Amino acid sequence: MSYENLNFPEGSKFLVTGVAGFIGSNLVEAILGLGYKVRGLDNLSTGKKENIEEFLNHPLFEFVEGDIRDLDTCMQACEGVDYVLHQAAWGSVPRSIEMPLFYEEVNIKGTLNMMEAARQNRVQKFVYASSSSVYGDEPNLPKKEGIEGNLLSPYAFTKMANEEYGKLYTSLYDLDTYGLRYFNVFGKRQNPDGAYAAVIPKFIIQLLNDEAPTINGDGKQSRDFTYIENVIEANLKACKASSEAAGQAYNIAYGGREYLIDIYNELCKALGKDIKPIYGPHRLGDIKHSNADISKATAMLLYEPEYDFQKGITLAIEWYKKNL
Protein backbone atom coordinates (compact mmCIF):
# COMPACT_ATOMS: atom_id res chain seq x y z
CA MET A 1 0.00 0.00 0.00
CA SER A 2 1.49 3.28 -1.11
CA TYR A 3 0.80 5.06 2.18
CA GLU A 4 2.91 2.59 4.17
CA ASN A 5 6.04 4.47 3.08
CA LEU A 6 4.76 7.86 4.27
CA ASN A 7 6.78 9.37 7.09
CA PHE A 8 5.55 12.06 9.42
CA PRO A 9 7.66 13.81 12.08
CA GLU A 10 8.22 11.70 15.19
CA GLY A 11 5.49 12.19 17.78
CA SER A 12 2.95 13.43 15.18
CA LYS A 13 -0.62 13.39 16.41
CA PHE A 14 -3.73 12.93 14.28
CA LEU A 15 -7.33 13.72 15.16
CA VAL A 16 -9.92 11.59 13.37
CA THR A 17 -13.51 12.81 13.75
CA GLY A 18 -16.30 10.33 13.14
CA VAL A 19 -13.80 7.77 14.38
CA ALA A 20 -16.35 5.04 15.12
CA GLY A 21 -17.72 5.19 11.59
CA PHE A 22 -16.71 3.16 8.56
CA ILE A 23 -14.05 5.48 7.13
CA GLY A 24 -12.89 6.86 10.48
CA SER A 25 -12.20 3.45 12.03
CA ASN A 26 -10.22 2.35 8.97
CA LEU A 27 -8.13 5.53 9.15
CA VAL A 28 -7.31 4.88 12.81
CA GLU A 29 -6.20 1.35 12.06
CA ALA A 30 -3.89 2.59 9.30
CA ILE A 31 -2.35 5.45 11.32
CA LEU A 32 -1.75 3.30 14.40
CA GLY A 33 -0.14 0.76 12.04
CA LEU A 34 2.29 3.50 10.96
CA GLY A 35 3.17 4.16 14.60
CA TYR A 36 1.60 7.60 15.14
CA LYS A 37 -0.72 8.90 17.87
CA VAL A 38 -4.43 9.18 17.18
CA ARG A 39 -7.19 10.93 19.07
CA GLY A 40 -10.64 9.88 17.92
CA LEU A 41 -13.81 11.96 18.33
CA ASP A 42 -17.33 10.59 17.86
CA ASN A 43 -20.76 11.07 19.45
CA LEU A 44 -21.75 7.51 18.43
CA SER A 45 -24.93 8.71 16.70
CA THR A 46 -24.17 6.72 13.55
CA GLY A 47 -20.76 5.25 14.38
CA LYS A 48 -20.45 2.04 16.39
CA LYS A 49 -18.17 1.59 19.40
CA GLU A 50 -17.45 -1.95 18.21
CA ASN A 51 -15.65 -0.48 15.16
CA ILE A 52 -12.94 0.89 17.46
CA GLU A 53 -13.13 -1.73 20.24
CA GLU A 54 -9.79 -3.28 19.22
CA PHE A 55 -8.00 0.10 19.48
CA LEU A 56 -9.33 1.29 22.85
CA ASN A 57 -6.41 -0.19 24.80
CA HIS A 58 -3.78 0.79 22.26
CA PRO A 59 -1.13 3.02 23.90
CA LEU A 60 -1.20 5.50 21.00
CA PHE A 61 -5.00 5.82 20.83
CA GLU A 62 -7.30 8.07 22.81
CA PHE A 63 -11.09 8.13 22.37
CA VAL A 64 -13.19 11.21 23.11
CA GLU A 65 -16.97 10.86 23.08
CA GLY A 66 -18.31 14.21 21.99
CA ASP A 67 -20.26 16.17 19.40
CA ILE A 68 -18.83 18.42 16.67
CA ARG A 69 -21.82 20.73 17.13
CA ASP A 70 -20.18 21.86 20.39
CA LEU A 71 -17.27 24.26 19.82
CA ASP A 72 -15.66 23.57 23.22
CA THR A 73 -15.53 19.87 22.41
CA CYS A 74 -13.87 20.64 19.06
CA MET A 75 -11.37 22.98 20.75
CA GLN A 76 -10.36 20.31 23.24
CA ALA A 77 -10.18 17.62 20.56
CA CYS A 78 -7.79 19.76 18.45
CA GLU A 79 -5.44 20.55 21.33
CA GLY A 80 -1.89 19.39 20.58
CA VAL A 81 -2.92 17.92 17.21
CA ASP A 82 -0.87 18.21 14.01
CA TYR A 83 -3.32 16.80 11.45
CA VAL A 84 -7.13 16.69 11.45
CA LEU A 85 -8.92 14.10 9.33
CA HIS A 86 -12.52 15.29 9.57
CA GLN A 87 -14.91 12.49 8.63
CA ALA A 88 -17.77 13.21 11.06
CA ALA A 89 -21.01 13.95 9.22
CA TRP A 90 -24.43 12.54 8.56
CA GLY A 91 -24.52 10.82 5.19
CA SER A 92 -27.34 9.75 2.86
CA VAL A 93 -28.97 11.87 0.19
CA PRO A 94 -32.56 10.60 0.81
CA ARG A 95 -32.34 11.12 4.58
CA SER A 96 -31.07 14.69 4.08
CA ILE A 97 -34.17 15.45 2.00
CA GLU A 98 -36.27 14.41 5.00
CA MET A 99 -34.13 16.25 7.58
CA PRO A 100 -32.59 19.41 6.04
CA LEU A 101 -32.30 21.39 9.30
CA PHE A 102 -30.47 18.58 11.06
CA TYR A 103 -28.00 18.23 8.17
CA GLU A 104 -27.31 21.97 8.30
CA GLU A 105 -26.59 21.70 12.02
CA VAL A 106 -24.25 18.68 11.86
CA ASN A 107 -22.57 18.87 8.47
CA ILE A 108 -22.16 22.64 8.07
CA LYS A 109 -22.02 24.06 11.59
CA GLY A 110 -20.13 21.02 12.89
CA THR A 111 -17.50 21.29 10.15
CA LEU A 112 -17.16 25.05 10.69
CA ASN A 113 -16.61 24.40 14.41
CA MET A 114 -13.87 21.92 13.53
CA MET A 115 -12.13 24.32 11.12
CA GLU A 116 -12.24 27.11 13.69
CA ALA A 117 -10.89 24.83 16.42
CA ALA A 118 -8.13 23.65 14.07
CA ARG A 119 -7.22 27.26 13.23
CA GLN A 120 -7.09 28.35 16.87
CA ASN A 121 -4.98 25.32 17.80
CA ARG A 122 -2.61 25.95 14.87
CA VAL A 123 -3.19 22.57 13.28
CA GLN A 124 -0.89 21.98 10.28
CA LYS A 125 -3.34 20.29 7.89
CA PHE A 126 -7.13 20.02 7.92
CA VAL A 127 -8.35 17.25 5.60
CA TYR A 128 -12.12 16.83 5.34
CA ALA A 129 -14.62 14.55 3.64
CA SER A 130 -16.55 16.08 0.78
CA SER A 131 -18.62 14.09 -1.71
CA SER A 132 -19.24 13.39 -5.38
CA SER A 133 -22.81 14.60 -4.72
CA VAL A 134 -21.53 18.18 -5.22
CA TYR A 135 -21.61 17.53 -8.99
CA GLY A 136 -25.41 17.57 -8.86
CA ASP A 137 -27.07 17.35 -12.26
CA GLU A 138 -23.88 18.03 -14.27
CA PRO A 139 -24.24 15.32 -16.98
CA ASN A 140 -20.73 15.13 -18.39
CA LEU A 141 -18.42 12.24 -17.56
CA PRO A 142 -15.90 11.92 -16.13
CA LYS A 143 -16.67 14.41 -13.34
CA LYS A 144 -14.02 17.10 -13.17
CA GLU A 145 -13.40 19.59 -10.38
CA GLY A 146 -14.66 23.04 -11.36
CA ILE A 147 -17.48 21.73 -13.57
CA GLU A 148 -20.42 21.28 -11.18
CA GLY A 149 -24.16 21.37 -11.87
CA ASN A 150 -27.19 22.22 -9.75
CA LEU A 151 -27.18 20.53 -6.36
CA LEU A 152 -29.88 17.89 -5.88
CA SER A 153 -30.08 17.45 -2.10
CA PRO A 154 -29.44 19.18 1.24
CA TYR A 155 -26.63 16.65 1.79
CA ALA A 156 -24.90 17.83 -1.40
CA PHE A 157 -25.40 21.43 -0.32
CA THR A 158 -23.72 20.79 3.05
CA LYS A 159 -20.68 19.32 1.31
CA MET A 160 -20.42 22.25 -1.09
CA ALA A 161 -20.70 24.63 1.89
CA ASN A 162 -17.83 22.74 3.57
CA GLU A 163 -15.70 23.27 0.46
CA GLU A 164 -16.47 27.00 0.40
CA TYR A 165 -15.52 27.33 4.07
CA GLY A 166 -12.37 25.31 3.35
CA LYS A 167 -11.39 27.84 0.66
CA LEU A 168 -12.03 30.75 3.01
CA TYR A 169 -10.10 29.24 5.91
CA THR A 170 -7.11 28.73 3.64
CA SER A 171 -7.21 32.21 2.06
CA LEU A 172 -8.18 34.20 5.17
CA TYR A 173 -6.56 32.28 8.00
CA ASP A 174 -3.74 30.25 6.42
CA LEU A 175 -5.24 26.95 7.54
CA ASP A 176 -4.23 24.35 4.96
CA THR A 177 -7.54 22.63 4.09
CA TYR A 178 -8.02 19.79 1.60
CA GLY A 179 -11.48 18.62 0.55
CA LEU A 180 -11.77 15.01 -0.58
CA ARG A 181 -14.74 14.33 -2.84
CA TYR A 182 -15.35 10.66 -2.11
CA PHE A 183 -17.02 8.56 -4.80
CA ASN A 184 -19.04 5.62 -3.37
CA VAL A 185 -16.56 4.26 -0.87
CA PHE A 186 -16.92 0.62 0.20
CA GLY A 187 -15.02 -1.94 2.26
CA LYS A 188 -14.69 -3.51 5.69
CA ARG A 189 -16.75 -2.16 8.60
CA GLN A 190 -19.26 -0.44 6.33
CA ASN A 191 -22.68 -0.72 7.94
CA PRO A 192 -25.06 -2.99 5.98
CA ASP A 193 -28.10 -2.21 8.16
CA GLY A 194 -30.90 0.30 7.94
CA ALA A 195 -32.91 2.06 5.27
CA TYR A 196 -29.98 4.28 4.29
CA ALA A 197 -27.24 1.66 4.17
CA ALA A 198 -24.76 1.73 1.31
CA VAL A 199 -25.64 -0.57 -1.54
CA ILE A 200 -22.65 -2.97 -1.61
CA PRO A 201 -22.73 -4.15 2.04
CA LYS A 202 -26.52 -4.25 1.92
CA PHE A 203 -26.53 -6.48 -1.18
CA ILE A 204 -23.85 -8.77 0.28
CA ILE A 205 -25.71 -9.29 3.56
CA GLN A 206 -29.09 -9.83 1.93
CA LEU A 207 -27.64 -12.36 -0.51
CA LEU A 208 -25.82 -14.19 2.31
CA ASN A 209 -29.22 -14.37 4.06
CA ASP A 210 -30.94 -15.58 0.85
CA GLU A 211 -33.05 -12.42 0.65
CA ALA A 212 -33.86 -10.59 -2.58
CA PRO A 213 -32.29 -7.09 -2.53
CA THR A 214 -34.12 -4.06 -3.89
CA ILE A 215 -32.46 -2.07 -6.65
CA ASN A 216 -33.74 1.50 -6.83
CA GLY A 217 -34.43 2.48 -10.44
CA ASP A 218 -33.55 0.29 -13.42
CA GLY A 219 -30.11 -0.85 -12.22
CA LYS A 220 -28.46 0.93 -15.13
CA GLN A 221 -27.09 3.74 -12.98
CA SER A 222 -23.29 3.71 -12.79
CA ARG A 223 -20.91 4.54 -9.97
CA ASP A 224 -17.18 4.95 -9.46
CA PHE A 225 -16.97 2.52 -6.54
CA THR A 226 -13.87 3.22 -4.47
CA TYR A 227 -12.26 0.76 -2.07
CA ILE A 228 -11.50 2.05 1.43
CA GLU A 229 -7.71 1.63 1.10
CA ASN A 230 -7.68 4.25 -1.68
CA VAL A 231 -9.44 6.68 0.67
CA ILE A 232 -6.91 6.07 3.45
CA GLU A 233 -4.12 6.81 0.97
CA ALA A 234 -5.79 10.07 -0.10
CA ASN A 235 -6.23 11.30 3.48
CA LEU A 236 -2.64 10.60 4.46
CA LYS A 237 -1.19 12.01 1.25
CA ALA A 238 -3.23 15.19 1.73
CA CYS A 239 -1.45 15.58 5.09
CA LYS A 240 1.84 15.57 3.18
CA ALA A 241 0.66 17.88 0.37
CA SER A 242 2.14 21.29 -0.27
CA SER A 243 0.37 24.47 0.84
CA GLU A 244 -0.10 25.33 -2.87
CA ALA A 245 -2.58 22.44 -3.02
CA ALA A 246 -4.56 23.75 -0.03
CA GLY A 247 -7.96 25.45 -0.21
CA GLN A 248 -9.18 23.10 -2.93
CA ALA A 249 -11.27 19.97 -3.41
CA TYR A 250 -10.16 16.74 -5.08
CA ASN A 251 -11.94 13.77 -6.61
CA ILE A 252 -11.07 10.63 -4.67
CA ALA A 253 -12.03 7.50 -6.58
CA TYR A 254 -10.43 4.80 -8.66
CA GLY A 255 -11.53 6.35 -11.93
CA GLY A 256 -13.64 3.38 -13.04
CA ARG A 257 -17.33 2.93 -13.75
CA GLU A 258 -19.55 0.05 -12.68
CA TYR A 259 -23.24 -0.41 -13.41
CA LEU A 260 -25.38 -1.38 -10.44
CA ILE A 261 -26.98 -4.38 -12.12
CA ASP A 262 -23.54 -5.70 -13.15
CA ILE A 263 -22.35 -5.40 -9.56
CA TYR A 264 -25.40 -7.24 -8.37
CA ASN A 265 -24.82 -10.08 -10.82
CA GLU A 266 -21.16 -10.22 -9.86
CA LEU A 267 -22.00 -10.49 -6.16
CA CYS A 268 -24.48 -13.29 -6.90
CA LYS A 269 -21.77 -15.14 -8.77
CA ALA A 270 -19.13 -14.60 -6.07
CA LEU A 271 -21.51 -15.74 -3.34
CA GLY A 272 -22.94 -18.64 -5.35
CA LYS A 273 -26.51 -17.25 -5.27
CA ASP A 274 -29.21 -17.16 -7.91
CA ILE A 275 -31.68 -14.59 -6.60
CA LYS A 276 -33.60 -12.15 -8.78
CA PRO A 277 -33.53 -8.57 -7.44
CA ILE A 278 -36.65 -6.49 -6.77
CA TYR A 279 -36.77 -3.20 -8.67
CA GLY A 280 -37.95 -0.21 -6.65
CA PRO A 281 -38.60 3.45 -7.50
CA HIS A 282 -35.76 5.80 -8.43
CA ARG A 283 -34.45 7.62 -5.35
CA LEU A 284 -35.05 11.36 -5.16
CA GLY A 285 -31.82 13.37 -5.33
CA ASP A 286 -29.76 10.51 -6.78
CA ILE A 287 -27.25 11.15 -9.53
CA LYS A 288 -27.70 8.72 -12.46
CA HIS A 289 -24.05 8.33 -13.50
CA SER A 290 -20.89 8.96 -11.59
CA ASN A 291 -17.31 8.52 -12.75
CA ALA A 292 -14.31 10.55 -11.62
CA ASP A 293 -11.40 12.23 -13.31
CA ILE A 294 -8.68 11.80 -10.66
CA SER A 295 -5.88 13.60 -12.52
CA LYS A 296 -5.96 16.64 -10.20
CA ALA A 297 -5.52 14.49 -7.07
CA THR A 298 -2.76 12.56 -8.80
CA ALA A 299 -0.90 15.75 -9.75
CA MET A 300 -1.41 17.76 -6.54
CA LEU A 301 -1.66 15.09 -3.81
CA LEU A 302 0.39 12.35 -5.55
CA TYR A 303 -2.66 10.10 -5.16
CA GLU A 304 -2.22 6.78 -6.96
CA PRO A 305 -5.03 4.38 -6.03
CA GLU A 306 -3.95 0.74 -6.06
CA TYR A 307 -7.31 -0.96 -5.53
CA ASP A 308 -9.60 -1.29 -8.52
CA PHE A 309 -13.18 -2.46 -8.08
CA GLN A 310 -12.35 -6.12 -8.64
CA LYS A 311 -9.60 -6.23 -6.04
CA GLY A 312 -11.70 -4.25 -3.56
CA ILE A 313 -14.90 -6.25 -3.90
CA THR A 314 -13.03 -9.54 -3.40
CA LEU A 315 -11.58 -8.24 -0.13
CA ALA A 316 -14.92 -6.79 0.99
CA ILE A 317 -16.78 -10.07 0.39
CA GLU A 318 -14.13 -11.98 2.35
CA TRP A 319 -14.47 -9.57 5.27
CA TYR A 320 -18.28 -9.72 5.41
CA LYS A 321 -18.26 -13.52 5.25
CA LYS A 322 -15.91 -13.66 8.24
CA ASN A 323 -17.43 -10.91 10.32
CA LEU A 324 -21.20 -11.18 9.95
Q: Quote the CA–CA distance of 283 and 269 in Å, as a whole number.
A: 26
Q: Which amino acid is at 9?
A: P
CB atoms within 10 A of CB 2: 16
Q: Which amino acid is at 225?
A: F
Per-residue burial over 102-130, b if 16 or more Cβ lie within 10 Å, else e, is ebbebbbebbbbbbbbbbebebbbbbbbb
Distance of alpha carbon 225 from the chain centroid: 12
Which residue intervals of 177-259 are DSSP H helices? 199-208, 228-240
Enumerate residues 6+ apart whose C-beta is below 8 A from 149: 135, 136, 137, 138, 139
Active site residue 36: no
* CA separation, residue 174 to residues 22, 35, 72, 263, 296 (Å): 30, 28, 22, 43, 22
Question: Residue 128: what are its φ and ψ, rounded to 5°?
Answer: -135, 155
3-state secondary structure of 138: coil
Annotated catalytic residue within 155, 178, 250, 320: 155
- Strands (DSSP E) found in 147-213: 176-182, 185-186
The sign of the dihedral angle between the CA atoms of 243, 115, 25, 265 is: negative
Which residue intervals of 12-153 are DSSP H helices? 22-34, 71-78, 93-98, 100-103, 110-120
For the chain, what's the residue count?
324
CB atoms within 10 A of CB 201: 22
Catalytic residues: 155
